[in-house]
Amino acid sequence: MAVPAVNITIEQGADFASSFTITNANGSVYSLSGASATAKIKKFPESTTSYSFSTTITVATGVIALAMTDTVTSTITPGRYFYDILVTNGSGLKTRVIEGMALVTAGIST
C-alpha cells in the first residue's frame, strides 16, 4: 500500500482535530479491527523531541481521528514539522497509513 501524503495545519494554542479515512488500493475500507494507532509530529524525522496526538479508531468506517489539546499545541514552536500515523494490527504488524507535513502557525492570543 502506498502511503498517502496529507499535509495538516496546527494552530498554536488551539485545540486540533482531524480525521482520516483509511482505504485499500481498491477503495475498500482498510481493516482496523483489533488495531491501535500512534501519531506524532517531529521537527525532523531523527529528532528526539516529539509531540503525540491522541488517536481514536472507528473500525466500521476505517476512520482514524487525531486530536491534540491546546495545552500541547501551545508548547510547540511555530514552523514546519513531519508527522505520520502508524497502525499496529492485532498480530503486532506495524503499517504507516498516512504521512505528511504539519505546519504549526503562531498563536497571538495563546
pLDDT tens for 7-57 read 999 999 999 999 999 998 898 999 999 999 999 999 999 999 999 999 999
Task: Pull the grid cell for residue 49.
Answer: 523531541
Report how many domains make up the chain.
Answer: 1
Task: Pull the grid cell for residue 83.
Answer: 508527522
User: pTM, whole model, 2 decimals?
Assistant: 0.92
CATH number for position 54? 2.60.40.10
Task: Tell me, yes or no, whether 3 lies in a domain.
Answer: no
Task: Tell me, yes or no, whether 1 lies in a domain.
Answer: no
Task: Tell me, yes or no, whether 110 lies in a domain.
Answer: no
Whether 1 has a pLDDT exceeding 70, the answer reads: no
If one counts every other C-beta atom within 10 angstroms of the C-beta of residue 45, the result is: 8
Whether 76 has a pLDDT exceeding 90, the answer reads: yes
The answer to whether the beta carbons of residues 55 and 39 sit under 8 Å apart is yes
The residue segments making up the domain with residue 50 are 8-105
Q: How large is the average pLDDT for residues 71-87?
A: 97
Mean pLDDT for all residues in the chain: 94
Task: Tell me, yes or no, whether 2 lies in a domain.
Answer: no
Residue that the C-alpha cell 496546527 belongs to: 10
